[in-house]
Amino acid sequence: MQEESRALFWQGERAALANEPATARARFLEAGQVAVAVQLWRSAIRFYRHALELDLVDREIVDHALRIPARVLAGNSWNSYAVALGEQRWSPFGCRGASIVAGNGTYVECPVVGPVLTLAMPEADRVEVSPTTPFEGMPLTMAMIILRRALWGTVDVVPEPRTIRVTYLKREDVLLDERGDWIPLPKQRA
């Protein structure tokens, strides 16, 4: 089953590169479902994140992610993601072409919608990010999906992924890796 889900994932990647988002979404979703069927939870959540990179406001994909056991999602704000999608009226947008742009401030930009996150790097191994005004209410999970894509682009399986500390909204600290996984970090004492 692992081979089947990986094959579906690569079909999705090829479709995304060929500008066939509906096919890519279907393959990523199918890869996630195959992984879920054999309880490969972490793989499934990665496949769902790839589907969300095509459309970050795709409620169906978030609903699939919410079916993953809570212990696997520990520290990830998928419930907050679902709530935000219910409260916000963001137009569909993706982050596969996300990039970091410096000028009058430093931002993460997504195609079609422009700047979505402000970005500062107060330390060599830590960034601070916050959503721009049109995207206030952005949950941590959405921000980490966007930031991972902006920092590292397309990443294949890497044995030792690079990591960076991220402070989100000056209150949540996580360690994000280039595969898109993150874990909460303990609160720093003042």
Compute the distance between CA of residue 56 and CA of residue 73 in angstroms, rounded to an integer. 18
pLDDT tens-digit profile of 66-109? 999 887 776 567 999 999 999 998 999 999 999 999 988 999 99
The whole-number pLDDT of residue 21 equals 97
Q: Which among 46, 53, 41, 37 has a CA at the least distance from the CA of 4?
A: 37
SS3 label, residue 57: coil
Q: What does the mean pLDDT of the chain come to?
A: 91
pLDDT tens figures, 42-72: 999 999 999 999 999 999 999 999 999 887 7
Say what the pLDDT of residue 153 is: 83
The pLDDT tens digits of the residues spanning 161-182 come to 889 999 999 988 999 999 888 9
Strand pairing category for 126-131 and 163-168: parallel
pLDDT above 70: residue 111: yes
Let me know how many helices (H) and strands (E) the chain has, helices first.
6, 7
Contact between 13 and 49 under an 8 Å Cβ cutoff? The reply is no
pTM of the model: 0.93
Q: What percent of the chain has pLDDT over 90?
A: 76
Class of domain 2-74: mainly alpha
Strands 126-131 and 114-123: antiparallel
Q: What are phi and psi of 47, to 5 degrees?
A: -65, -40
Predicted pLDDT of residue 74: 61
In Å, what is the CA distance from 2 to each residue of 7, 16, 61, 64, 96? 9, 21, 20, 19, 24
Residue ranges of the chain assigned to CATH 1.25.40 = 2-74
